[in-house]
Chains A and B, each alone.
Chain A
């Protein structure tokens, strides 16, 4: 069966510090991968999605970036965090075009 791992579960970082969140999927190949952010009490904002290694689509201009160095690995990064980067970050995968997505446990990021 397929599983998705996302870590860490919680993170407190100072303003201006770098960020690296990692997500890996097991039990499938060539999945679509997604990064979402959810502000408190709000919906999911799509940040990046990827249909293959090195193929990244960015949805929101900001100080975040994403990379997919391996088929089942998706990384969210920032060089310098802002207070507004605080939120609940969710990684998800889907089997392919038109399919449903399955989420990791999420990372709650607080920038102080």
Chain B
């Protein structure tokens, strides 16, 4: 079982729609969770972090965390063509120093 799992996609969404991305993790003791965006050929950049169960909103992005189900999600509202990228879920393990990434979900926003 992979430590952090994501659907590889591509997830195709029309412009203006909501993109929903999911991530599951295996380490039940994990404490912090992150979403990164990576454009082709570039390094990942941080979008959101979440530490507590529930929802966290930042602009058009909402992160959701359910520790009991070991599940993290990212919603992108009003999707724009510039949101087309690969989105990486990252989880910091119980010890807090090992940051593990999922395989990423490729998102394509079509005008």
Contact = CB atoms under 8 A, between A and B. Distances in A.
Interface in B24-62: 31-32, 34, 42-46, 49, 51
A34 interface: yes
Interface of A: 32, 34, 36, 42-46, 49, 51, 57, 59, 90, 92, 94, 96-106
Interface stretch (B64-72, B73-81, B95-103): B95-103
B11 to A, nearest CB: 15
Interface of B: 6, 31-32, 34, 42-46, 49, 51, 88, 90, 92, 95-104
B78 to A, nearest CB: 25
Nearest to A90: B43
Given A99-B92, A106-B42, 18 more contacts: A32-B97, A36-B101, A42-B104, A43-B88, A44-B44, A46-B100, A49-B97, A57-B98, A90-B43, A97-B92, A98-B32, A98-B92, A99-B32, A100-B32, A100-B34, A100-B49, A101-B46, A104-B43
B43 A103 contact: yes
